[in-house]
Each structure stands twice: as structure tokens, then as C-alpha cells.
Amino acid sequence: MPLCSVTVYADNIEDEDISYNNMHARSVVARTLECTTFAIPAPVLPGAKILAYTAAHVSNFSTPSLIPLLDFEPPAGGLNFCNISITYTHPGQQDTVNTQVWLPDVWNERFLGNGGGGWAGGFIEPANSWAISQGYSAASTDGGHAFTTPVSEWGLISPGNVNLYALQDLASASLSDMAWLGKSLSATYYGKSPAFSYWNGCSQGGRQGMMMAQRFPDVYQGILAIAPAMNWNTFIPSTYWPQVNMNTLGVYPKACELNAFTAAATEACDALDGVTDGIISLPSLCRFDPFTLVGKNFSCDNAPSTYSQQTAMIVNATWNGPTTADGKSVWPGLTPDSSLLAQANTTCFSNGTCTGLPFNVGSEWIQYFVMKNASFDLTSITTDQFAGIVEASVDQFQSIIGTQNPNLSAFRDAGGKLLTYHGLADEYIPYPGTSMYRDRVEALDAGVDNYFRHFEAPGFAHCFGGMGAKPINALQDLVDWVEKGTPPNVLKAKAPARADGKMWERDLCLYPSISVYQGGDPSVAGSYKCI
């Protein structure tokens, strides 16, 4: 609980220059006195006006994380840190951004910026908790709107007019602000600047990390961008493609039928890599045709059912991804072992009828940003119109949130290191988006592996989950690369325990290498080779 809290509004902030040494030996009482707005004056944030600024020392803090990626075992006695909260605006833009910087009592002299997910600019409490538990000073931002605030309340400033400043805050502005605040306050509190600065984020947080590398190349020495939601203007509207096909057909399959298609495809393509392990390790070789199931029987919610032609059409469209009216690919689809329930989901009622349940970020992006109409009827979109909607998304918002500039020369020249990994069974963000971006970077610079390394994770879902192996500690791999000059050639990974209780281990291979089974115990990493 906070031991001391002082709120200072912008007009009352005083300038002081206080240095702190030997912080690790300080008592909680001393920490309480040091963690005040008088001891730590508000930094000057370029281009912004601070509206409110608080500092409070927190002792014995613990909270359950609702985000599996950020789950950890807190130390005995909880976490002890100085919590600094900053509310500010960019004058003339009528925005309000909230950022929190947490400064742990025991500091490893590193700063960690944390990303968000979905529409959230950041997951402040769980992200910062995990970071300071590892010794980092940490920062997270709401990106200009609260996590709980629906896009309907901030996406438009009036009918037909996008709130471009709010979108810019989420896309980039709040990210550079957060780094400035985090590093500046770390230097004031500890008496010296962080020796190294890192970024950590998945999905939206991964996109944010890529934005930092592309647009603010000298801010972070190391960036971990997991399953990055870059290529935003193409991939985000593309997530609505399965729903367009459902609406066109007037058919909304039950979840159990969609899951049955996934299970059948996984069974058919599982052994392509030489081992049957419940995942598709080589999705590019999987040629499973969903129409081969049509007319066959299966069990759906413990009731006999038959695979339908219409559901096979929806599944096929989801796996192939959106196309133009003449059949040209707009964006890749999902791999056959990815859950269909992220993009092709439905909700069913007691009377047996079902309706579409789209991924909200994709549907809201089309409704509020591309169409700029809160009342726009998404079910009116046809398959022939869809490519035009994606094109409009790119045309209007590429410079704000596209995040797909392959020129990383400034990041490279600043000495930065970029580490990404992406699950091949990602149900929200098709994995080829990241590998295609990496290929575009290599097309400009054959020495890409010297500063940008990408890994693919068979069977791993979006950020967490799935049957595949997840990297054990990719952030530490990045730290070793930055600080010791040892680039990772593989990422050590573990899969969830199987029915027999055995944990499967598997090294993730440096792209474009793939992991190939060599024989032996398939649960042992040594049974695979990167080729």
C-alpha cells in the first residue's frame, strides 16, 4: 500500500536537482521520503504540458496478473517501488495521456518500456509489476485512452471525422513520450541514467516496438517485439474477412463445427515434419482441403452432425485470407491449426440460431476509422467490396500507424538490436506478416541478421497458448545480445505439459531456417535440427 503520496499540479511544480546514491541500502522510511514530488521534480516533456504528477512509495505490493504472458511469482514480501504517475496533454490537441513509471528499490540499472494489446496502449499494472520484479525500472502508458474506454468514445471527434490525434497517441506519440519520462525519472531517482534501455511487447505491444525501431531508432538499445501487429492497415481490416463470408452466405457455424475442421486439418498435416505432436510444424506444406469433409459425420456438442458445404467455404476463406474480386490475395490467412474462433467466431442462442461474433479491433477499425460512421452496418460489406475497404485503410492511415517501413538503417547505425518471434498457429495475426517484413528488410540490407533476428514458433498461438513451444526467456536472450554481443541462433522453448505430464522442449530456429525432426524422443530439443 502507498506510504506517502503527494499530488502536484503543473503550476506548482518546482525545479530541484537531487542525486541519490547507494539506493539499494536505503530503508523503507528513507524510500518514502525520497519518493515524493518534492524530491523528484516533474521532468520537462518536450511538446507536452503536464497536468498532474504524483509520486508514492509502495511496499509489499502484489497482484494477480490476468495476462498469462506477464504472469510471474512475486518475491516473498511483495514488490517495493516508487510509483510515479504522470498525466499530460499535447497543447492544442485536446488529448489526455496517462503514464506510470515504477522505480524498484533494487534496480538492475536497466529501463524497460512495456507495450499494450488490442486497443490498449499498455497494461500498466501487470506489465510494470513483471518488469520491476526482474529489477528493471519500468514504464507503461494508456496511449491516450483508458483500457476500459470503448473505441466508440474516442475514435471519432464527430460523425465523419476521425480523432487523428488520439490515433497518433496510440500509434507513436505516447511511446516516445513514455521512454523520455521513464529514462528521465530513472536518472533523477537513482542518480544516474539507465545503462541500457529495452522494449517488451506482444501484438499491439509488438507493433509499438517495431514503431520505436522504425521511427525512434535511438531510444532503445534492444527491442523484443512478439507477434507484432504491424502491417496494421492491411492486416487489421483483413481479420473481418471470415465474417464477410458468413454474412454473404447467411451461415454462422457453431464453434464445435469450426473446431472440428481445425482438428481434422491438424490430424492430416501433423506428421509432415516426421513427428506426431498435435501441431502443424510445416504449415506451408499443408494442403488439406476442407471440402473433403463435406457430408461426413462428426460429433458437435455431443450431438451427431454433418460437415456442411457452407462452413467449408467459410473455413477455406479464413485459411486463404481475403482476396480481390478477381481472386488476387490481399493478405495471408490463418494456418489450419490456428483456432478459427478468433476471426470466424459466432455466438449461438437457445433456439439454435447463431450470429457472427467478429474480432472487435478489426470490425471497429472498419466502422470507426475507415468508414468513419458509428452506425455503419458491417454486415452490408460484400466480398467484392472488401479489397477496396482494405485499400482505403492503407491510403488513409499508412503514415500514422502502418508500422511497416523496412528501412532500419538508422536503428542499425544506432547499435540497436531487434528480436521478434511469431507463433505459426497465431489465431489473430497471420505469421507470414512478420516473415514478409523481415524479407523486405533483408532486400535492403543483406546484413540484417546483425541487428534483426526473427524466429518462428510451430504450434504457438497469439502471445501465449497453443500446443507449441514458447521461448523460455527471450528478453534475456536480447539482453545478452545487446550487452555481451552474443546474438541468439536459437531460442530455447518449452511447450505445455502433455497428457503424460511431460514438458516438451524445442529450439526455435533463426529465420529462415526451420526445425526438422531427426528421430529420437520428440519431447527433447536435441531430437530436432535447424535446417
65 is catalytic: no
**Active-site hit among 90, 145, 422, 462:** 462
**Active-site hit among 95, 169, 426, 477:** 426
Which pTM was predicted?
A: 0.93
| Amino acid in the structure at residue 353 | T
Q: Are strands 49-61 and 79-89 parallel, antiparallel or unpaired?
A: antiparallel
In the block, which residue shows the cell 522505480? 103
Give the orientation angle of helix 309-320 with respect to helix 255-269, to 10 degrees.
60
24 is catalytic: no
Taking only the tens of pLDDT, the chain with its 531 residues reads 333 333 333 433 333 333 333 444 446 667 777 999 999 999 999 999 999 999 999 999 887 666 666 666 777 778 999 999 999 999 999 999 999 999 999 999 999 999 999 999 999 999 999 999 999 999 999 999 999 999 999 999 999 999 999 999 999 999 999 999 999 999 999 999 999 999 999 999 999 999 999 999 999 999 999 999 999 999 999 999 999 999 999 999 999 999 999 999 999 999 999 999 999 999 999 999 999 999 999 999 999 999 999 999 999 999 999 999 999 999 999 999 999 999 999 999 999 899 999 999 999 999 999 999 999 999 999 999 999 999 999 999 999 999 999 999 999 999 999 999 999 999 999 999 999 999 999 999 999 999 999 999 999 999 999 999 999 999 999 999 999 999 999 999 999 877 777 788 999 999 999 999 999 999 999 999 999
384 is catalytic: no
Distance, in Å, from the CA atom of 69 to the CA atom of 75, rounded to the nearest integer, reads 18
**Active-site hit among 186, 203, 281, 515:** 203
Task: Sort residue 18 into left (φ over 0), alpha (ψ -120 to 50) or beta.
Answer: beta
Which residues have C-beta within 8 Å of that of residue 428, sequence separation ≥ 6? 203, 227, 239, 342, 343, 359, 462
Which residues have C-beta within 8 Å of that of residue 187, sequence separation ≥ 6? 193, 194
